Amino acid sequence: MVGAYVSMRASCRTGEAMTINFKINGSRQSVPAEADTPLLYVLRNDLALNGAKFGCGLAQCGACTVLLDGRAVRSCVTEIGLIGDAEITTIEGLGTVDKPHPLQRAFIDEQAAQCGYCINGMIMTAKDLLDQNPHPTAAEVREALAQNLCRCGTHSRIIRAVLRAAQNMGKT
């Protein structure tokens, strides 16, 4: 795995703008970018997908989390040139205002956001969790979200929202 990453890095030239093609939220996109541009910058600056947030830029807060082939990654440290054929899913790809994803619905129902800055990362990390483990315990939700920071301190509502979503998704 590490070897594959190193070889991908070696094959990616940096410091030189190129056209980068990738799959995102069910469609294909291409943007001119240097290969080492953080995915988060491409999402926000080139595609106007502003759900993922810039918090620390150091993979430490989780505000920028997106899914890469279904697994949660920190887009602030994911180089666009290394995406390859992996499919990116952002929170904009989960649901719509009219038809929110059950996780989005549960976060609304539990009023889990105060400022809302962390919520993208919480929901995308929780999506990865529920895809892997559809019926997590509260302890498992806490563990999955332990590296996602919420400065407003709404953790207990966030955990309740994820458990509610799991319960609702189990009914459908």
**Positions that interact with ligand FES (CB under 6 A):** 54-57, 59-64, 74, 76, 113-118, 150-152, 154
- When the beta carbons of 74 and 127 are compared against ligand FES, the nearer one is 74
Please, what is the minimum distance in Å from the beta carbon of residue 19 to ligand FES? 25
Q: How far is the CB of 54 from ligand FES (least distance, A)?
A: 5
- Shortest Cβ 172–ligand FES spacing (Å): 27
Q: Measured from the CB of residue 171, what is the shortest distance to ligand FES in angstroms?
A: 27
**Structural contact between residues 39 and 80, judged by C-beta atoms closer than 8 angstroms:** yes
Which residue's CB is nearer to ligand FES, number 33 or number 66? 66
Kindly tell me which of 24 and 74 has the beta carbon lying closer to ligand FES.
74
